[in-house]
Amino acid sequence: MKKSSLLILSIIMISSFKLWSQVNDVTYGDGKQKFKGYFTKSGLQGKKRAGVLVLPAWMGITAHTKRTVEKLAEMGYYAFAADIYGEGNYPKDAKQAGELSNYYKNHVDEYRKRIQLALEELIKQGADPEQIVIIGYCFGGTGALEAARANFNIKGVVSFHGGLGRDTTKATAEIIPKILVCHGAIDPYVPEAQVKAFQKEMNMAKADWQMIYYANAVHSFTEKEAGDDNSKGAAYNAAADKRSWEAMKQFLKEVFKG
């Protein structure tokens, strides 16, 4: 076959893949509380696909969250963005988002339950229940680590610029899922004491963990909507965004073994 024909065929296949991928809102519930997640299904056919559950930052499911889910589908995964707050409880501004996210950080069992509900929904949508990773951003990164601490039936977790604190009333137990933490080297919202406490916890828990620091990166370094002013404490960093995504891809390849 001529090179020109191969090129045309490749373009058709790429275009077709994007058309085959399914993107839709998914409503699920817990008693009277309704949730609305965001799901994408890989267009690839054949065996059951690995799944990635995405835990959003404190504002809930945003354009950034949806872009992440769609990129994961293009990589061949089933991806689902969790709704932690539920319909009727979405924050209108940063103040409300801070209050809501702090509530779940201080009520870890409730946060874990909301994550578990979304995990179950991802499986209902067709993801392989034995091949799942949870990733999270900021507040969602904290949630991903809580899923690891709770030893959910997952292969691993990835935290992007997430909080590292834990509920110190809970005993430190052995952690089974693998852990990747992508951390801004100058993130003012995660003090050095918290970093050291986290690293000590991981070692005590005999976790398979790794933590990567990104130079000149503060909080929210993957979010373009955060702007580029580091002095605000939260800002986009293109290099850190790209490098952390590549680190996640390698992590997924390792834990899914393929």
CATH of 22-256, one of 3.40.50.620, 3.40.50.300, 3.40.50.1820, 3.50.50.60: 3.40.50.1820
Question: Residue 170 pLDDT > 90, yes or no?
Answer: yes
Q: Give the helix ranges, DSSP H, for 24-107.
A: 63-74, 94-106
Amino acid at 69: V
pLDDT, one tens digit per residue, over 149-160 is: 999 999 999 999
Tokens 């559950």 belong to 53
* pLDDT band for position 21 (cuts 50, 70, 90): low
Give the start-to-end residue ranges of the domains of the chain.
Answer: 22-256
Does the structure show a pLDDT above 60 at 11? no
pLDDT at 205 over 80: yes
pLDDT at 87: 96
- Per DSSP, 43 falls in state S
| Mean pLDDT of the 9-26 span | 54
Contacts with 11 (C-beta within 8 Å, 6 or more apart), sequence order? none
Tokens 């089933």, located at residue: 78
User: What pLDDT is attached to residue 41?
Assistant: 83
Which pLDDT band, with edges at 50, 70 and 90, does 20 fall under?
very low
pTM of this prediction exceeds 0.85? yes
Q: 38 phi and psi, to 5 degrees?
A: -130, 120
Position 165 pLDDT exceeds 90: yes
Whether the CB-CB separation of 212 and 180 falls below 8 Å is answered with yes
